[in-house]
Structure 1
Amino acid sequence: MSSSLPLILYIHGFNSSPQSRKCQELGEYLKTQKIPCDYVVPELDQWPGENAQMLYALASEALASRPVYIIGSSLGGYYATWLMERLLEDNPHYPVKLVPINPAVKPYELFEDYLGPQKNYYNGTEYELTHEHIEQLKHLEVPALHRPDNILLLAQTGDETLDYRKAVVRYQDCPQRIDEGGDHGFQGFEETIPVILSFFSPLLIPKI
């Protein structure tokens, strides 16, 4: 994609899809508010290693000419954190920012309880979750965040799938917005979009 506009890269969660609610709400908002950016939501494969390669290729190519702003939901937040750190290894001054939303912190530990048959209810794909998936996720763990000021954590205390407190600790040196209540899907996401965009860049704030 050849463009000078900032790239907003949305990374969806486990067994999710570009058709998920937040992906669609963000896309519609960017369109109706005429936000000057390109918006991409890749459809993730079941294999973490392949997802990581694809996301890195996409983001690193874009960073050659423009800023990249990453949003990662749930498992996508884990991928997104790895991606940002991997990009900063290439160039610590890359214009990259990240907003993890109810992010998974150590998903490879949680996946032990999900081993076996899985189905993506958006596209109908069926597969077997194995220890190989877990090992690939472990390889994406990053020990430290090198640009914490460029990460804004969004989490809700009512998350029924993940313990929000683990994200609070993981991103403790980052700006944080923790909402009381809510759920794993992040209630009120549409109203939170302006907060995300203003964190990324003043150029993305909707014109009144």
Structure 2
Amino acid sequence: MDVPDYQWGVAVEIWKEIDALARENDVRVAIEMHPHNLVFSPVTLKRLVDEAGTTDIGAEMDPSHLMWQGMDKVASIKWLGPLVFHAAAKNATLCPGADIRGAPDTSFARVPAEAPGKVPTGYGFWCNAWPENPAWKFVAVGLGNDVPFWTEFLRALAEINPDMAVNIEHEDAAYSQTEDLALAAKNLHSAAAAL
């Protein structure tokens, strides 16, 4: 318990400063809850907000990171409520490798910048090399979770903020940037129409 206690002590002081800077500049900072980070779940995000006493720190709701941890994404949105500042439409699915690797799979490898055949992502960089039998992988919106899931995801966000933008985040290595975007947009439009 000493290691996480130390990490929380450091993080709380840093995020107090970031929150003050955000407030001073009239912006809000949305943290992406990601495994392998101190803030990886709704509970840890709320802990940071509470312990640091922040007013301008909240969540960037990327459901893909909650998916491969086995969390209920809609329940997480409802539990966080107004602490959800921003949302991404990004999907993930568990793979057979989860049986021996576990959800917080750390067996990825770095890809050198000069390596040929890098896997492009939607933001102009490349993915780490995936293990041969990963525990999870990112997939296009609609492939890991179907349209009814995305309808409920959008419904939960709309209950918090009806004007919240939901950005499509592309990281499915099986699709080009435009293919993934088209598939995600189609599925999100279907989900929104079902509202």
TM-score when scaled to structure 1?
A: 0.36
